[in-house]
Structure 1
Amino acid sequence: MRSTEALPALQAASSPERPWVREWRLAALDLARCFRGWHVWALLGVSDIRLRYKRSRFGQFWITLSMAFFVAGIGAVYGGLFHQNIHEYIPYLAVNMTIWTFISTSISESCSAFIEAAPYLRQEALPKSTFIMRVLVRNMMAFGHNIIIIPLVFIVFLYAPSPVALLAIPGLLLVLAGVFAASISLALLCTRFRDMPQIVGNLLQLAFFVTPIMWHVEQLGPNAYYIKVFNPFASFLRVVSEPLLGHVPAPETYGTVLVALCVLSLIAWPVFAKFRSRIVYWL
């Protein structure tokens, strides 16, 4: 009887787990522990915002004031430059800038996610994905402050939202999933190669100008199709901004977002599984 019970253990010992299977299992365990311990990254993200605006009279609302001044200044200049109706252009700009700021800042700050977490990672065996979620939490808080500008601008310019605006919620979830997948890959690469944050910053600046944030995609004429389909930043932006502006995103917009999300996930998961255990040695 004892020999029968011991047989599975002997078989397991004689057939050791393959390295790639172990890496993927540990990566999945890391993510599971991260989401079970959600209070850790939530507290870290809130603490980051508090420290950033400590002893400031306006506190976190400096984020909102900065965005409001930017939208007012750029809206007045570019509205005249592009010969746009100011009552339509400034709501368009406010929505796009609020969403773009969240996307670009989250990606940019993810480059230093593990580097900032070095004191924690050297002392505690915390899930590595916890520090990606930390970046997302603090940027979601900033997004929550900035989004206050949108209803204020709608009221000032008598811009009435429609029920279609509810589609912005699933759009925002798609954006969060895309940013999370991109952040994992970039955080690993930037921890290993310290020149990468500068490259990412330059690419984000380029993406800002080729993405319809301050201009309408229709202004490109026949070339608008390529921006809609082949620019993933434009598609992630539009799945949130268009519902808020009263338009249903086109099916190809959702298609581009889903394809980009699959590609980002297929890159992020193997990279995270392979190099997760080496992060501490790169700090």
Structure 2
Amino acid sequence: MIFAPRSWPSRPGFAMTTRIFPATGRSIGSPDREDFAQVERHVCGECVHEADRRRVLARVAESRRRSVGLPVGMEGPGRLLLDCGPGVLARLRSTNSENGWPRVDAIAITHFHLDHWGDLVPWVWGTMWGLGRDYEKPELWLPPDGREELAAFGTRFGTPDMFTRVFVPREYTEGEAFEAAGLELTPVRLPHYTVQTYGFRVSNSRRTLAYSGDSGPSQRLAKLAEGVDLFLCEATLERGELDGEPRGHLSAEEAVEAFEASGAQRLLLTHRPQELALDDGLEQARDGLEVEV
């Protein structure tokens, strides 16, 4: 389903309706209220039909524990999932499934922290012995050396080839665009403690969004989100000084700084515990929120 706020504060020149989310100016917006109005019914990634209009569609699956999964769709057959943390598969099965199992054409993983890839494991079991066996293998895009990482995990689980049985593993290269599920993705290296981590720019012919995954403060965030229609940026911390060294996460204030430096049109904060309050005018991703760009 596509859900849209009934009322959406915006800066001058930015129009927001319950049906279409045009990005004609820069906005840091938040709904006046928690309820959302259903405006159209589509499963994640299916085409959104409107004459002569192509749009990127982002649907956020975020738990209170900050497990991350971001389905992205465009007009056309492709369905892309950015990250696949614990609980994401169950959410997709309950809301975006065909015969009880989600059809996804490609999954792109930002890094190997469990909250960003952990549901690949039940995805494997559900495909090998459950409903997923009737579907084609999705592409699985991984950071450099990611196939070796997955093979090591599979060995620990007692099935070294478990991931290659279910997915078609591929590795991306920093700064080099690749195509997945009919969309163009460009990975940008970001700082996240000592873990190899990337954010993604995701584009079709008309719209672009940026997804930070996990990141500490960096000028590369502004490069990642330069001029995009929607910037999905993590804001895990209440205050930046609560983080360790090297840094691995952002506060909301730091995320806003990256947004303002990027020239992006709109900011949506992700990977943040629901218990942490936000200043008025900031928008936080919530489980099941669906955004049309």
Q: Could you tell me the TM-score, scaled by structure 2's length?
A: 0.22
TM-score normalised over the length of structure 1:
0.23
Bigger radius of gyration: 1
- More strand as a share of residues: 2
Compare relative contact order (CA 8 Å, sep 6+) and give the higher one, 1 or 2. Answer: 1
Q: Which has the higher helix share?
A: 1
